[in-house]
Amino acid sequence: MTILVIQILNSLFYAAVLFLIAAGLSLIYGVMRIVNLAHGTLYALGAYVSAWIVGSAFGHFMSGTLGLVGLLLLLPLGAVAIAAVGAAIEPTLLRPLYRRPEEYHLLLTFGLLMILEDVMKLLFGGTPLSAGSIMDHMGSIPIGRLIYPAYNLFVIGIGLFAAVGLWWFIYRTKFGVILRATSQDRRMAAALGINVGLVYVQAFAIGCFMAGLGGAVVVPAQAAVLGMGVDALILSFVVIVIGGLGSLEGALVGALIVSFVRTAGIQFFPEIELAVLYLIAAAVLMIRPTGLFGRA
């Protein structure tokens, strides 16, 4: 029973991280119709930047000038940095491509992936970078006869908060209306006086922020390593394919499905754990190409 609770919590933790990444990917596709192959790498960059910031500030924490809350508040700085990177990429590299076929979007973002992977290596070196100090100092809570890190519960909370926040932002604010209008009909939105270029920059930056936040919350639990982005990209692809490209609810449900299947897979069928996920994605694409929640 205790094991089951812990496994469910693990799945939820994993779902929260996956949701953050996939929601950003989905948002970017939904608004701009761009499949960003560099998205996973932006997540990894977020993890590195956050770990680096926390690592630099750790001395202040130990000397008592910075509390645990302060250290936690430093984490999102990594996400902000990634949002800034996104805001720089969109107008310079992506904007010339909107009129061109999709092949070029994939190629350009693939090139971006290669560049960013090496930029990370250049900036942070090949050794894993961790912010584990946060997790250590948050302690753990007892579950049955076992203990569970409190930080994981914190991340699940962040995931929930992000899901609700994003939903509110897209469906309940004026900017959300503009965003949805632009995603449905770009030219009509422009004709109504919306600055479409600005909306695109903002949407891309928000998507990148989500990826960066995913990296920021994961890095106290798992060290940032080279290559983590490439793996994460494919899993978040699976998530949004299951949920539906461009759908927020889809990203949430997809993240939950992928996490629970993966946790069950590691427990019961470890050899084909990944293969099952890809097969589920392929099956969804075959039966219902727009995903569970996608529109045509």
Partner 1 sequence: MTMAPNRTGPSIPRLFGVAVVVLIVLAILPYVVDVYQTQLLTYGMVFAIAALGFNLLLGYTGLLSFGHSAYFGTGAYTVAFIVRDLGAHSMELCILGGLLGTFVVAALFGYVCVRHTRIFFGILTLALSQVLWSLAFKFFWVTGGTDGIRVASANLTLLGGLVDFKGRGAFQRFVFAYYYYVLVLFAVSVVVMWMIVHSPFGKALQAIRDNEVRAGFVGIPVRRYRWIAFVISGLFTGLAGILWVPLNGLTTPDILYWPFSGEIVFMAVLGGFRNFTGPIVGALAFNYLKTYAVASSEYWQLLLGLVLVVLVLVLPTGIVGSTARLYARLFRRA
DSSP secondary structure of 128-194: -B--HHHHHHH-EEEETTEEEEHHHHHHHHHHHHHHHHHHHHHHHSHHHHHHHHHHH-HHHHHHTT-
Task: Single out the residue of 146, 177, 191, 275 in contact with partner 1 (rule: CB under 8 A).
Answer: 275
Kindly give, in sequence order, each residue whose CB lies less than 8 Å from that of residue 293, ignoring residues fewer than 6 positions away.
243, 244, 247, 249, 250, 253
Is 1 one of the binding residues for partner 1 (CB under 8 A)?
no
Is 198 one of the binding residues for partner 1 (CB under 8 A)?
no
Q: Which is nearer to partner 1, 16 or 120 (CB)?
A: 120
Cβ 204 to partner 1 shortest distance, Å: 16
Burial of 273 (0-12, 13-18, 19+ CB in 10 A): middle
Q: Which is nearer to partner 1, 131 or 258 (CB)?
A: 258
Is 112 one of the binding residues for partner 1 (CB under 8 A)?
yes
Task: Single out the residue of 20, 22, 23, 37 in contact with partner 1 (rule: CB under 8 A).
Answer: 37
Q: Which is nearer to partner 1, 1 or 268 (CB)?
A: 268
Which backbone phi and psi does 224 adopt, to 5 degrees? -80, 125
DSSP symbol at 95: G
Is 90 one of the binding residues for partner 1 (CB under 8 A)?
no
Say how far apart CA 266 and CA 272 lie, in whole Å.
Answer: 9
- Residue pair 232/117 in contact (Cβ under 8 Å)? The answer is no
Cβ 175 to partner 1 shortest distance, Å: 26
- With CB under 8 A as the contact rule, which of the stretches 13-21, 127-135, 138-146, 282-290 interacts with partner 1? 282-290
Task: Single out the residue of 5, 8, 100, 175 in contact with partner 1 (rule: CB under 8 A).
Answer: 100
Where are any strands of DSSP class E within 26-108? none
Cβ 277 to partner 1 shortest distance, Å: 8
Is 270 one of the binding residues for partner 1 (CB under 8 A)?
yes
Site for partner 1 in 226-245 (CB under 8 A): 230, 234, 237-238, 241, 245
Is 125 one of the binding residues for partner 1 (CB under 8 A)?
no
Closest listed residue to residue 5, CA positions, set 141, 105, 123, 112: 141
Q: Which residues bind partner 1 (CB under 8 A)?
A: 35, 37, 93, 96-97, 100-104, 106-108, 110-119, 121-122, 230, 234, 237-238, 241, 245, 270-275, 278-279, 281-282, 285-286, 289
